[in-house]
Structures are given as structure tokens and as C-alpha cells.
């Protein structure tokens, strides 16, 4: 689909959500209002002319050290792909430092669960209604968010006890019908 | 002679998986369960992965996975190193097929720089990448078969892998951590006997695949351990963002080399094998078929290999020849600029991906005009596979979980970064 038509189509469906669009080395990027990201992705996935059926990756970015940056401190890039139609799209969400909260996509894509946990762990962005927003890559006793630009790369932390995982297990057992 | 009775059909099979509960009408009681940790340090996890399993008898009724034991801050490290210095770090992502990571990262940054990679370098990248795909698949399938008790296959696949490593060692001086690519090309050209040695090793690869197929294709134990075990549907695989062999085993024909061709893959004649059931059997067998396709690609690429330089002449990214560096002031300054001031792409953001052995290996790179990347996000293909692991093993047995883990080829280096 032509990128201009795609943007127009999305604007017609979600007039408040689409803030603008850019070309990133041949891939269309659409800037999206952060509170509408879940509704917009739902449309992108369900509409048969768009059918973005794969969440390829979720990238969290801290722009606070970017030269000449005046926008919100954090950004999230959602990379989507349609296997049937073969096109790609990326959605960019600006996330303010004071309230780094974005609606979850974990009900739309199964891998969003872990991708959002990673973004929370590394960058400190929180996802509302996420079923299990815990750290993923770093140890559960770790303090801070290492990919933020103000986290010094040389800072070491003493992490001792391993995690029992029983909190997650209890939830899983309940889902499986064990009381 | 044994009749080929499928034992599993005699038992009340659970809807989703092969292992059967003793009595499905029994009320579910948490006190009946035993909790067992698989990993993080266990021979069958092939790396530091952990799955906490709730067992009812031998059946896993619920599982929770944990990762991050090999997390070493790859993405943070990238931010304090120059673009060239990131290349050795990429070796450590999927360390079983390091050159594919080198190529993936360089391809993304080269697109940002607008550098044209010489044709010869592109063909050598294809050849070495496909060699890496072969050894990656052989390692995965060989180790997986060991987990099912079939040790001989391991020798067949690893013997020939050693011979591929001998070639890679001659090529770039390292067996595992190759760092073979440079921005704009390669670190060095291939040696004169390269083509003949690759052809010879490919014949051995072909033979080892045939040997292994003879051992497993009609092997009752293997078939029982692999067929219908840990089945994943097309829909779940896509929901989890699976790519590569694991997705294709579910019956989705998706390969970036065909879907979004790069490096002249559209000109090579090769097939994309696709599975039908999405079980362990499909995932193992598919890798052997892919090895045979890679052999075809390498064969064609060797025939077409053009002459010429293996690194671009673009002075922004390529070091000048040593005679220039030591022989005249312009060459010396060029060298100094690239080493001290680095290679600086224009500010921008790019996502670029290649079809690595495990699936779509992507790099999201942000440049701010400086010599270091502002942010690098790696998309490791096996991250998506491992995210689904708990779901796959629920309803199966511990032994199935082991067979399954091998079949989705989790490489902790790229999983945890």
C-alpha cells in the first residue's frame, strides 16, 4: 500500500492518534499519541488491507543526551510487519519523563509481554494493564534502569539472592485451574 | 518385528500435547504437584536458561521461564564504543554463527552511511554466512539429538563443523569470534585455495547430513520422541513473532532471503523448506533441508564470485592501504581520522534485518552524528522463541521439554545480550 494512503486511512480512523509521519531509510514511521497506541495497533492488525500480523520488535530510547533534542525524554519504536502483504511500518511514541506510562500491547501480541518487560527493565517505561511487569534481563534486586543515559556504565551492584519465580507460578497455576 | 503401534494413541491424549494425564477427571489440587527447576545450570539447557516446572507425575502442568543469566549489557556497551568497535561485540551474540551477526550489524550501518559494498565482498559475505548457517543448524540438530540419546549424530555433525571452522580460521584467524566484516566490506580477501576447500567441505557436509538422516529418518525412538511433541500452531508462532526455521516448521513460508531479498539472494536458486505440523520433528528435519539449500547457494556464489576489492574505496569508512598510511601525509591523516575521530553516519534511525540461522536478526541503530552509536537495539530471533517456551512444554513431559528446547535453538549469547 502507498504510504500516503496508509497514513490517510489511519488518520480517518483515528484522527487524534496520528501526529505525523517520517521516512526512515525507506520505512514509513508514524508518530502516534501514546495513549492511543493500543487502539491504533489493533486497527493495523485487524484491517485486512493492512494486516500487520507481527510485532517484530519494541525499541526503547532515551533521548536526553541527543544533541539539540527538545521533545519528550523517552521514545518507543514499535516495529510491525505484515507477512501476507510484505510491508513494514514503524510507530513512534513519545513518552514524557514525568509520566513514563504507555498502554500495553500484550493482549494483541504474545511477544509484547516480554518486549515490554525488557523496555521496563532497561528504560523504566511502565505499561498499564500489563499482566506481569517485572524485570527481564536484569536481576530482580537491581536498582535503576541501565539503558537510561544517566546510568553510568561503570556502576556495579551487589546482587545476591535468586528469584523463586513462585509469584509467576501461582498465577500460571490459577490459569490452569489449580486452586 | 514390532508393529508400528503408536503407543500414545492408546492413552487418553490431552488436547494440546502428547503426554497423557492419568485421569483427566481428577480434581486439580496444588498439593499433588512437585516443583522442579530445570536449569539455570543444567547440561540439557545448553546455556544458562531456567524453567520452573510444576509436575503432576511426569507431566508438566505449568511452567515459568527466566532469562538474563548471560546478560552483559551489549546494548549499553555499544553506546560507549565506536561503530567499528561494536563489530567484535556482535560475534558474542549468536556465537555459533558469528559472521551472520557481523554482516547484520554492518549492513544496517552501511545503509545509514550510504556506502556501497563491493560485489566481491557481498558474495563472500553470502558464502561465509551460509557456511555459518550450515554449522549453526548442524550444532542445533546435533546437540538436540544428543539430548534425545542419539550420540552418534553428534559426532557426524560436529566432525564436519570442525572442518568448516578450519576454513574460517584460515580466513579470519579465529574459529568462533570471527569479526570478519568491516564497515564497507571485509577485513581481508579469501585465500587462494578457499573455493576448493569449501567445495570439499560441502561434500562432507552433504555426507554427514545423509549419514544422520539414515540414522534418524526411520528411527522408532527418534520418531516417538519428536513427532507430535510440543506442537505450535501457525497462529501462536506469529503471535510470538517467530521467524526463521521455527516459524517455517509451523507451515509459514517466510524467509527474508525470499521476502525481502538482499545481497543478490533473488538471483540464487534455492528452495525454502516448510514444515506442516510445527512439532519437534519438523523443526529438526527442516534444519537438515536448509543445510542442503545453503550448499546450493554457496555453490552458485562460488561460481559467480567476481574479482575486485573486498572493501570500499570510500575514505570516510575504509582505512587506506598501509603503503599510503606510511608513505604519504594524506594516507596518514586518513588513517588517523578514521581511528581517532571514527566513522560518523548522519543523524538518523534505521532498522535493518537479515535472515540469520535462527530467524530475523535485526538491528535498530540510532546515530547522533558522533562516532559512537547513540543507541543500538538488537532483535535476537531466539528471544521470541524462548518467550513461548513455557507455553510449549505445558502438557508435555520433562523429557519432551528437553527435546523441545534443543529444537528451538536458544543461544544464550543473543537471547540475553
| pLDDT tens-digit series, residues B362-416 | 999 999 988 999 999 999 999 999 999 999 999 899 888 888 988 988 888 899 9
Q: Which domain holds residue A134?
A: 3-175
pLDDT at B240 over 90: yes
Which residues, 6 or more positions from B363, have their beta carbon under 8 angstroms from its beta carbon? B104, B105, B108, B351, B352, B353, B376, B377, B378, B379
CA B19, B23, B24, B27 dihedral sign is negative
Looking at the domain assignment, is residue B337 inside a domain? no
- Contact of B302 with B199, CB cutoff 8 Å: yes
Contact (Cβ atoms closer than 8 angstroms) between residue B97 and residue B357: yes
Q: What is the pLDDT of residue A3?
A: 75
Per-residue pLDDT, A21: 84
Cell output for B43:
547440561
Which pLDDT score is estimated for B1?
36
Q: Do A172 and B67 touch (CB under 8 A)?
A: no
- Which residues on neighbouring strands pair with residue B202, listed in sequence order? none
Contact in structure between B141 and B157 (CB atoms under 8 Å):
yes
Q: Note whether A24 contacts B350, CB cutoff 8 Å.
A: yes
Whole-number pLDDT of residue A1: 61
Average pLDDT over residues B117-137: 93
Question: Whole-angstrom Cα distance, residue A93 to residue A151?
Answer: 22
Burial B130-160 (b: 16+ CB within 10 A, else e): bbbbbbbbbbbbbbbbbbbebeebbebbbeb
- Residue in this structure with the C-alpha cell 555459518, named with its chain if needed: B132
Residue by residue, DSSP assigns A71-100 as S-SEEEEEEEE-TTT--EEEEEEEE-SS--
Span A126-162, pLDDT tens digits = 999 999 999 999 999 999 999 999 999 998 999 888 8
In sequence order, which residues have a C-beta less than 8 Å from that of residue B330 and are 6 or more positions away?
Answer: B324
Residues of A in contact with B364 (CB under 8 A): 57, 59, 77, 79
Asked if residue B88 lies in contact with residue B95, where contact means CB atoms within 8 angstroms, the answer is: no
pLDDT digits (tens, 9 = 90+) for A36-50: 899 889 888 888 778
pLDDT given for residue B22 in this prediction: 52
Sequence-ordered list of residues with C-beta below 8 angstroms from that of A66, at least 6 positions apart, any chain:
B368, B374
Judge residue A126's burial from the number of C-beta atoms within 10 Å of its C-beta, 0-12 exposed, 13-18 middle, 19 or more buried. middle
Residue A179 has what pLDDT?
76
CB–CB of B252/B282 below 8 Å? no
Is residue B238, in this structure, part of any structural domain at all?
yes
Give the number of other Cβ atoms within 10 Å of residue A143's Cβ: 10
On chain A, the residues whose CB falls within 8 A of the CB of B66 are: 163, 165
Q: What is the ipTM of this complex?
A: 0.92
Query: Out of B30, B377, B416, whose CB is closest to A178?
Result: B30
Extract the C-alpha cell encoding B195: 573455493
Which tens digits make up the pLDDT trace of B133-185?
Answer: 999 999 999 988 988 888 888 889 999 999 999 999 999 888 888 899 999 99
Chain A, 106 to 135: residues with Cβ < 8 Å from chain B are 109-111, 113-114, 122, 135
B93 pLDDT more than 80: yes
pLDDT in tens, B9-53: 444 444 444 444 555 566 777 878 889 888 787 777 777 888 999
What Cα–Cα distance (Å) separates residue B270 from each residue in A33, A113, B267, B287, B293? Answer: 44, 36, 9, 14, 6
Give pLDDT, residue B244.
Answer: 92
Mean pLDDT of chain A: 89
pLDDT of B11: 42
Distance from CA of A179 to the nearest CA of B (A): 6
Q: Does A153 touch chain B (CB under 8 A)?
A: yes
* For range B73-93, the mean pLDDT: 92
B121 phi/psi in degrees, rounded to 5: -65, -40
CA nearest neighbour of B57 among B87, B84, B36, B80: B36
**Is residue B308 included in any domain, yes or no?**
yes
Look at residue B179 and tell me if it is in a domain. Answer: yes
Using CB atoms within 10 A of its CB, is residue A125 exposed (0-12), middle (13-18) or buried (19+)?
buried
Burial of A13 (0-12, 13-18, 19+ CB in 10 A): middle
CATH number at residue B93: 1.10.645.10
Q: Do B62 and A53 touch (CB under 8 A)?
A: no
The distance between the two most distant Cα atoms of chain B, rounded to a whole number of Å, is 85
- Residue of A38 and A1 predicted with greater confidence: A38
pLDDT, position B25: 65
pLDDT over 90 for what percent of chain B?
Answer: 56
User: What is the span of the domain harbouring residue B222?
Assistant: 74-314+342-416
Alpha-carbon span A53 to A44, nearest angstrom: 8
Q: How far is A166 from chain B (nearest CA, A)?
A: 9
The CATH number of the domain holding residue A152 is 3.30.460.80
- For A148, the 3-state DSSP assignment is coil
- The verdict on residue B87 lying in a domain is yes
pLDDT band, very low/low/confident/very high, at A73 (cuts 50, 70, 90): very high
pLDDT at A103 over 90: yes
B376/B42 Cα distance (integer angstroms):
31
Measuring CA to CA, how many Å separate A4 from each of A22, A45, A53, B407?
Answer: 11, 18, 21, 42
d(CA B323, CA B410): 45
Q: Are A83 and B252 in contact (CB < 8 Å)?
A: yes
Closest residue by Cα to residue B53 from B43, B44, B42, B64: B64
Record: contact B241-A56, CB cut-off 8 A: yes
Count of the separate structural domains present in chain B: 1
Q: What is the mean pLDDT of residues B111-120?
A: 92
Interchain pair B377, A59: CB under 8 A: yes
- Give a yes or no: residue B226 inside a domain: yes
d(CA A2, CA B368): 29
The per-residue pLDDT of chain B, averaged, comes to 88
Grid cell digits, residue B271 = 528452495
Nearest CA among B250, B361, B245 for reference residue B294: B245
Contact B35 A177 (CB under 8 A): no
Best mutation target among B34, B53, B241 (most A Cβ atoms within 10 Å) is B241
* Distance between A47 CA and the closest CA of chain B, angstroms: 16
pLDDT tens digit sequence for B335-376: 999 988 889 999 999 999 999 999 999 999 999 988 999 999
Whether residue B131 contacts residue B167, with contact meaning beta carbons closer than 8 Å, is answered with yes
Beta-carbon count within 10 A of B300 CB: 18
Number of domains in chain A: 1
Does the CA dihedral B233-B239-B240-B243 come out positive or negative?
A: positive
Q: Do A79 and B362 touch (CB under 8 A)?
A: yes
**Count of C-beta atoms within a 10 Å radius of residue A170:** 14
pLDDT 10s digits, B184-225: 999 989 999 999 999 999 999 999 999 999 998 888 888 988
Give the residue from chain A lying closest to B384, CA to CA: A111
For the record, the C-alpha cell of A138 comes out as 536484569
**Facing residue for B364 by CB, picked from A57, A139, A163:** A57
Q: Which of residues 42-71 of A touch B (CB under 8 A)?
A: 53-57, 59-62, 65-67
Amino acid at each position: 500500500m502507498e504510504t500516503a494512503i496508509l497514513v490517510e486511512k489511519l488518520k480517518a480512523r483515528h484522527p487524534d492518534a496520528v501526529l505525523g509521519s517520517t521516512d526512515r531509510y525507506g520505512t514509513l514511521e508514524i508518530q502516534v499519541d501514546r495513549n492511543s497506541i493500543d487502539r491504533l495497533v489493533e486497527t493495523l492488525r485487524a484491517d485486512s488491507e493492512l494486516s500487520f500480523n507481527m510485532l517484530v520488535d519494541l525499541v526503547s530510547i532515551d533521548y536526553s543526551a541527543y544533541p539539540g533534542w527538545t521533545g519528550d525524554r523517552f521514545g518507543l519504536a514499535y516495529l510491525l510487519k505484515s507477512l501476507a502483504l510484505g510491508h513494514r511500518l514503524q510507530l513512534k511514541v513519545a513518552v514524557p519523563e514525568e509520566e513514563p506510562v504507555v498502554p500495553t500491547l500484550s493482549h494483541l501480541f504474545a511477544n509484547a509481554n516480554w518486549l515490554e518487560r525488557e523496555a521496563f527493565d532497561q528504560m523504566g517505561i511502565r505499561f498499564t494493564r500489563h499482566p506481569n511487569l517485572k524485570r527481564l534481563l536484569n536481576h530482580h534486586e537491581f536498582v535503576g534502569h541501565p539503558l537510561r543515559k544517566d546510568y553510568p556504565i561503570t556502576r556495579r551492584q551487589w546482587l545476591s539472592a535468586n528469584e523463586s519465580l513462585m509469584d509467576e507460578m501461582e498465577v500460571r497455576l490459577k490459569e490452569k485451574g489449580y486452586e | 518385528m514390532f508393529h508400528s503401534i503408536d503407543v500414545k494413541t492408546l492413552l487418553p491424549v490431552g488436547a494440546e500435547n502428547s503426554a497423557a494425564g492419568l485421569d483427566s477427571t481428577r480434581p486439580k489440587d496444588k498439593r499433588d504437584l512437585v516443583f522442579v527447576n530445570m536449569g539455570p545450570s543444567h547440561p540439557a539447557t545448553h546455556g544458562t536458561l531456567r524453567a520452573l516446572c510444576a509436575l503432576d507425575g511426569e507431566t508438566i502442568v505449568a511452567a515459568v521461564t527466566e532469562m538474563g543469566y548471560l546478560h552483559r549489557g551489549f546494548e549499553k556497551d555499544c553506546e560507549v564504543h565506536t561503530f567499528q568497535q561494536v563489530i567484535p561485540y556482535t560475534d558474542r551474540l549468536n556465537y555459533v554463527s558469528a559472521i551472520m551477526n557481523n554482516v547484520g550489524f554492518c549492513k544496517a550501518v552501511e545503509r545509514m552511511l550510504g556506502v556501497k559494498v563491493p560485489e566481491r565482498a557481498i558474495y563472500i559475505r553470502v558464502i561465509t554466512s551460509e557456511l555459518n548457517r550450515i554449522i549453526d543448524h548442524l550444532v542445533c540438530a546435533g546437540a538436540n539429538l544428543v539430548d534425545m540419546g542419539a550420540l552418534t549424530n553428534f559426532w557426524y555433525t560436529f566432525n564436519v563443523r570442525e572442518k568448516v571452522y578450519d576454513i574460517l580460521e584460515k580466513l579470519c584467524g579465529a574459529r568462533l569470534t570471527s569479526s570478519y566484516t568491516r564497515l564497507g566490506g571485509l577485513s581481508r580477501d579469501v585465500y587462494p585455495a578457499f573455493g576448493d576447500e569449501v567445495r570439499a567441505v560441502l561434500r562432507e557436509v552433504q555426507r554427514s547430513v545423509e549419514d544422520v538422516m539414515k540414522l534418524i529418518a526411520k528411527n522408532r525412538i527418534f520418531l516417538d520422541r519428536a513427532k507430535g511433541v510440543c506442537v505450535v500452531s501457525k497462529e501462536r508462532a506469529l503471535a510470538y513473532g517467530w521467524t526463521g526455521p521455527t516459524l517455517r516448521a509451523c507451515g509459514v513460508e517466510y524467509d527474508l532471503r525470499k521476502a525481502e531479498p538482499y545481497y543478490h539472494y533473488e538471483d540464487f536458486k534455492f528452495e525454502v523448506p516448510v514444515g506442516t505440523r510445527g512439532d519437534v520433528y519438523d523443526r529438526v528435519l527442516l534444519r537438515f533441508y536448509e543445510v542442503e539449500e545453503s550448499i546450493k547457494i554457496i555453490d552458485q556464489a562460488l561460481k559467480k564470485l567476481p574479482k575486485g576489492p573486498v572493501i570500499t574505496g570510500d575514505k570516510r569508512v575504509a582505512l587506506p592501504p598501509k603503503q599510503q598510511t606510511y608513505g604519504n601525509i594524506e594516507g596518514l591523516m586518513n588513517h588517523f581520522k578514521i581511528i581517532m575521530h571514527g566513522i560518523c553516519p548522519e543523524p538518523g534511525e534505521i532498522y535493518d534485518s537479515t535472515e540469520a540461522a535462527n530467524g530475523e536478526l535485526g538491528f535498530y541503530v540510532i546515530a547522533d552524528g558522533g562516532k559512537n552509536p547513540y543507541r543500538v537495539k538488537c532483535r535476537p530471533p531466539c528471544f521470541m522463541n524462548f518467550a513461548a517456551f513455557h507455553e510449549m512444554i505445558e502438557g508435555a513431559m520433562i523429557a519432551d521439554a528437553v527435546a523441545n528446547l534443543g529444537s528451538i535453538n536458544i543461544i544464550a549469547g543473543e537471547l540475553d545480550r
